Chain A
Amino acid sequence: MVDVTKCVGCRACQVSCKRWNGLPGETTTLKSDWTNPPTLSYNTYTHIRFNLDYDGNSDTTEWRFLNWRCMQCKNPACLEACPVDAIVKTEEGAVVVKTERCIGCKFCVSACPFGIPQYDAQVGKVSKCHMCSDRIPEKEPACVQACPTDALVFDERGKIIEMAAQRKAKINGHVYGDVDNKPLGGTGFIYVADVKLQSLGLPEVGEKVSLDIPIMTNAKLLLIPAVAGGLLYLAAWRKKRMEERE
């Protein structure tokens, strides 16, 4: 669970993620909103988005910090889109890219409604947060362990949803990702905030899931009449040839 109201934007999660996964630093640019690095990349699995809200009524500003990385969807679109089964879902719910199987086709990049998988042209492969699948269930993910304000909490999904509901009631806030009836089946990461998460840049869960994947899957069915037609053509050609010989 990510509790946006508790996050102070210290970026300890970013650093611990880099350290645990042995990811190199990269040259970045500091934007006016202080988000740094500005986006996720092949070597940045998690980062903090800085949001400065301005309330015109009270003429006040307020910072909100959003921990952003793979949502570990229950029914991941990236997994469905991958033609080489390079993306798998573990028992614990982590969605993991098997780098050795990845062929860099970027189908997962197109399929993910959250824009999470990151392609590196030099490596020719895709990577993303894997919820520290090499740590759990013995240890919690590195980012959760490093968080000094308990803005990140790791537990079973059911318990997290309960905690999120309690927190929502307490702060009179909003929850994101707990739905079970949307195309992505809800997300593994649940957000709680005092404002609508959409205002912090998160898309509506399931809203952007396009018809791409079922269309791509069903397109293969066109092979059946095509092959049948080809075989019929061959049979007719052979018959004609036999008749000519006779």
Chain B
Amino acid sequence: MAKYKDVKEFEYPTRVTLTRALKGLWKEKISMLFHVLMAILLITGLAIDLLGVFLGGWLSSIRTVAHGYVGVALVIVFPIYLVKVIATRRMRMLMATVNYIDFALYALLILSGIAIASANQPWINTFPWLPSALGYFRQIAPTIHTVTTYAWLFISMLFPGGFLHGIATGYMILIYRGKEHEKAEG
């Protein structure tokens, strides 16, 4: 007969403070980095789409640097974050369905972002074959990128575990680690 380990039921924290949540995020550096990059991209993307009429050419450098190069950083960080989430049981357990939808939308945003940027320098010099390889996807990429952003915002805001999932995840990890620490000491 199989022996079952007596595991204490995980207590879901009832009180969330911003300080504790940020501390939790800080402990998960990749998660922190990913969410900071996402926040920058979201803010700059919305600025381009919603304030473009007022700001016009001023947005050129924001699009190139704050949206473009930060986007590249996210493309690099995303797979690392993804692997970490999949490989870490603790993080995997904390994921809700909404988080998985988030990941699917992130993937869409990244793929369409790559398609849009494929004609830009320096990528066109490094990967000159990419624009033609992407074909029709490149043509519909701006629509996918824009619509996915708003869909992501909608889902993240309205469903539990969405918009603040990074902070919540970090917070729960902090609590969990605290408990582990207490257990080890006690």
Q: Using a CB-CB cutoff of 8 Å, which residues 120-176 of chain B contact chain A?
A: 120-121, 124-125, 138-143, 146-147, 149-151, 153-154, 156-158, 163
Instruction: Flag if A110 contacts B59 (CB, 8 Å).
Output: no
Q: With an 8 A cutoff between CB atoms, is A242 at the interface?
A: no
Q: With an 8 A cutoff between CB atoms, is A222 at the interface?
A: yes
Instruction: Flag if B147 contacts A219 (CB, 8 Å).
Output: yes
Report the 9 A-B pairs with minimum CB-CB distance, sorted nearest first: A84-B52, A83-B52, A226-B157, A101-B56, A222-B154, A219-B150, A222-B150, A212-B143, A121-B121
What are the residues of chain B within 8 A of A121 when measuring CB–CB? 119-121, 124-125
Instruction: Flag if A223 contacts B63 (CB, 8 Å).
Output: no
Interface, chain A (partner B; CB < 8 A):
81, 83-86, 100-107, 110, 119, 121-122, 124, 210, 212, 215-216, 219-220, 222-223, 225-227, 229-230, 233
Nearest to A125 among chain B residues (CB) is: B60
Nearest to A100 among chain B residues (CB) is: B57
Instruction: Flag if B57 contacts A84 (CB, 8 Å).
Output: yes
- Provide the bound-state CA to CA distance between A2 and B64, in Å: 39
Interface, chain B (partner A; CB < 8 A):
48-50, 52-53, 55-57, 59-60, 63-64, 116, 119-121, 124-125, 138-143, 146-147, 149-151, 153-154, 156-158, 163
Instruction: Flag if A106 contacts B147 (CB, 8 Å).
Output: no
A-B pairs under 8 A by CB, number: 100
- Provide the bound-state CA to CA distance between A210 and B147, in Å: 15
Question: A53 to nearest B CB, angstroms?
Answer: 28
B153 in complex: contacting residue of A81, A210, A223, CB < 8 Å: A223
A220/B121 contact (C-beta < 8 A), A110-B140, A225-B154 known: no
Q: Is the interface of B mostly helix, strand, loop or mixed?
A: helix
- Provide the bound-state CA to CA distance between A100 and B55, in Å: 11
Instruction: Flag if B63 contacts A103 (CB, 8 Å).
Output: yes
- Provide the bound-state CA to CA distance between A227 and B46, in Å: 13
Chain B CB count within 10 A is highest, among A119, A215, A225, A229, for A229
